[in-house]
C-alpha cells in the first residue's frame, strides 16, 4: 500500500510541475489504481506481486469505493453552491429588483426620467444597425442605461484595424463575429438586458419583419444602400430612425420620423454621392474617439425618444467638428417630392 501512495504522490507532484489540470492528475492516479485491481484479479495466488501489494482485493475495492464517494460528494457540494449562487429572487414583470434600483439610481433621481422613465427604458426594444464605430458606444450606453431589449445586426467579424475606434471589441475577439463580441460585452456590462444578435447583413426580404419587432432603430452603417433600405423600412412601418455618420474629424446626427411631420433620411440625401466624394473610414480615415462622441449622442437621443424628455433632433441635424471643437445645428425639412415619404 505504501508504494502505491508514493507513486500516487509522485504522479500528482509531476502533474503540478507540468501544470496539468486536476482532472488529468486524478485520471493518472485512477489508472494506477485500476492496474493494481486488475493485477489482483488475474495474477495467481502465489505471485510475488500480491505479497508486495500487501492488501487483498477486498481492501483495494473498499479503498476505491471510499475515494469515489468522497469525490462524488465534493462534486455534489460544488454543484449546489453554483446553483445557489446563480439563483436570484424572481422579479415580477414591470418591477425592478433591488440590484436594478441601485444600478439605475442616478436615472431615477432625475426629474425628467424618474421611475416611470426607467420603466419605459426597461420595456423598450431598440435595434442597432451595425456593431462598428458608431454602434459600439451606442450599444454599450443603451445596455448600461437599462434598455430592456437590444437587437444588433451586422455581418462582419472583428478585425485588428477596427480596434482603434470600435471599443466594444477587444483584441481577443479578432476574427469573432461582431454581433457576438458586442453581445458578450453588453451582457457583461448589464446582465439585466436581453441582447438579440443577428449575424448577417440586412436585406430587403428580412427588414420589414425584423424592424416590426422594435420601437426605434439606430443606423450607424457606412454605406448608402443599407442606409436607404433602413430608411424605407422605417418610413413604411412608422418607426423613428436615429441616423449618424462620420468622416475624418466630423460627425453628423439626426432623428428621422415622417410620421411625426419630420423629414426622412432620403429627403435630405435623395441620392448617394458620386464615388470618391464620400470616402469610407478605410479610405479617408477617422479620428479614434470621434465615434465615441457621436455614438454616445445616438444613445442620448434614443433615451430621450423612449422617455419623451427634452427636445430631440427631429427636423434638425447636428454637426460636430472635432478638429475645431464646434457644434452646428441646422433645420431640415421634409421634401414633398421625396420618393419615399413625399406626396
Q: In whole angstroms, what is the distance from residue 74 CA to residue 95 CA? A: 38
Q: Encode pLDDT of 58-106 as tens digits.
A: 666 666 777 777 778 777 776 776 565 444 445 565 688 999 999 999 9
Q: CA–CA distance from 341 to each of 44, 130, 133 (Å)?
A: 94, 24, 29
Instruction: Identify the three-state secondary structure at position 83.
Output: helix
Q: How many CB atoms lie within 10 A of CB 88?
A: 9
pLDDT at residue 88, rounded to an integer: 44
Q: What is the DSSP code (8-state) at residue 248?
A: B
Hey, where are the domains in the chain? 2-84, 98-331
pLDDT at residue 72, rounded to an integer: 80
| CB within 8 Å of 76: residues ≥ 6 apart | none
Nearest to 15 by CA among 28, 32, 2: 28
Q: In whole angstroms, what is the distance from residue 272 CA to residue 224 CA? A: 6
Compute the average pLDDT of residues 238-247.
95
pLDDT at residue 311, rounded to an integer: 92
Beta-strand ranges (E) seen in the chain are 125-129, 149-153, 194-198, 216-219, 241-247, 250-256, 316-321, 326-331
Q: Encode pLDDT of 254-300 as tens digits.
A: 999 998 888 999 999 998 887 766 666 677 788 999 999 999 999 99
Q: What is the DSSP code (8-state) at residue 160?
A: G
Class of domain 98-331 as given by CATH: alpha beta
CB 284 within 8 A of CB 263: no
Q: Encode pLDDT of 164-217 as tens digits.
A: 999 999 999 999 999 999 999 999 999 999 999 999 999 999 999 999 999 999
Q: What pairing do the DSSP bridges indicate for beta strands 241-247 and 194-198?
A: unpaired
Q: Encode pLDDT of 308-331 as tens digits.
A: 999 999 999 999 999 999 999 999
Burial bucket for residue 137 (CB in 10 Å: 0-12, 13-18, 19+): buried
DSSP string, 253-304: EEEE-GGGT---HHHH--SPPPTTTS--HHHH-B-TTHHHHHHHHHHHHHHH
Residues in the chain: 343
CB 242 within 8 A of CB 147: no
pLDDT range class, residue 236, cuts 50, 70, 90? very high
pLDDT at residue 87, rounded to an integer: 45
More confident residue, 18 or 229: 229
Q: Which pairs from 185-192 meet CB under 8 Å and 24+ separation?
A: 185/140, 186/139, 186/140, 186/143, 186/150, 187/143, 189/140, 189/143, 189/144, 190/103, 190/143, 190/144, 190/146, 192/97, 192/99, 192/100, 192/103, 192/146
Q: Encode pLDDT of 298-309 as tens digits.
A: 999 999 999 999
pLDDT at residue 56, rounded to an integer: 66
pLDDT range class, residue 28, cuts 50, 70, 90? confident
Amino acid at each position: 500500500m505504501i508504494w502505491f501512495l508514493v507513486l500516487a504522490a509522485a504522479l500528482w507532484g509531476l502533474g503540478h510541475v507540468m501544470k496539468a489540470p486536476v482532472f488529468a492528475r486524478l485520471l493518472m492516479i485512477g489508472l494506477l489504481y485500476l492496474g493494481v485491481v486488475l493485477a489482483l484479479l488475474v495474477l495467481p495466488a502465489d505471485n510475488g506481486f500480491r505479497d508486495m501489494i500487501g492488501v487483498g482485493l477486498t481492501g483495494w475495492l473498499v479503498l476505491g469505493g471510499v475515494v469515489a464517494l468522497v469525490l462524488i460528494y465534493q462534486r455534489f457540494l460544488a454543484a449546489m453552491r453554483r446553483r445557489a449562487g446563480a439563483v436570484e429572487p424572481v422579479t415580477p414583470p414591470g418591477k425592478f429588483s433591488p440590484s436594478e434600483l441601485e444600478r439605475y439610481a442616478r436615472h431615477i433621481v432625475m426629474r425628467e426620467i424618474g421611475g416611470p422613465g426607467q420603466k419605459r427604458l426597461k420595456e423598450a426594444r431598440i435595434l442597432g444597425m451595425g456593431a462598428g464605430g458608431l454602434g459600439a458606444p451606442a450599444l454599450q450606453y443603451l445596455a448600461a442605461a437599462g434598455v430592456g431589449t437590444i437587437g444588433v445586426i451586422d455581418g462582419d467579424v472583428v478585425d485588428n484595424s477596427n480596434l482603434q475606434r470600435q471599443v466594444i471589441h477587444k483584441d481577443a475577439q479578432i476574427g469573432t463575429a461582431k454581433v457576438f463580441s458586442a453581445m458578450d460585452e453588453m451582457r457583461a456590462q448589464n446582465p439585466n438586458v436581453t441582447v438579440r444578435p443577428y449575424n448577417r447583413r440586412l436585406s430587403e426580404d428580412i427588414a420589414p419583419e425584423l424592424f416590426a419587432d422594435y420601437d426605434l432603430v439606430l443606423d450607424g452603417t457606412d454605406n448608402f444602400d443599407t442606409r436607404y433600405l433602413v430608411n424605407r423600412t422605417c418610413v413604411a412601418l412608422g418607426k423613428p430612425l436615429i441616423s449618424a455618420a462620420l468622416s475624418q474629424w466630423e460627425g453628423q446626427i439626426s432623428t428621422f420620423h415622417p410620421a411625426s411631420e419630420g423629414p426622412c433620411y432620403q429627403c435630405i440625401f435623395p441620392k448617394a454621392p458620386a464615388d470618391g466624394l464620400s470616402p469610407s473610414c478605410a479610405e479617408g480615415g477617422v479620428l479614434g474617439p470621434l465615434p465615441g462622441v457621436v455614438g454616445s449622442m445616438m444613445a442620448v437621443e434614443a433615451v430621450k425618444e423612449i422617455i419623451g424628455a427634452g427636445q430631440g433632433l427631429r427636423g434638425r441635424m447636428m454637426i460636430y467638428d472635432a478638429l475645431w471643437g464646434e457644434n452646428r445645428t441646422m433645420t431640415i425639412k421634409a421634401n414633398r417630392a421625396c420618393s419615399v415619404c413625399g406626396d
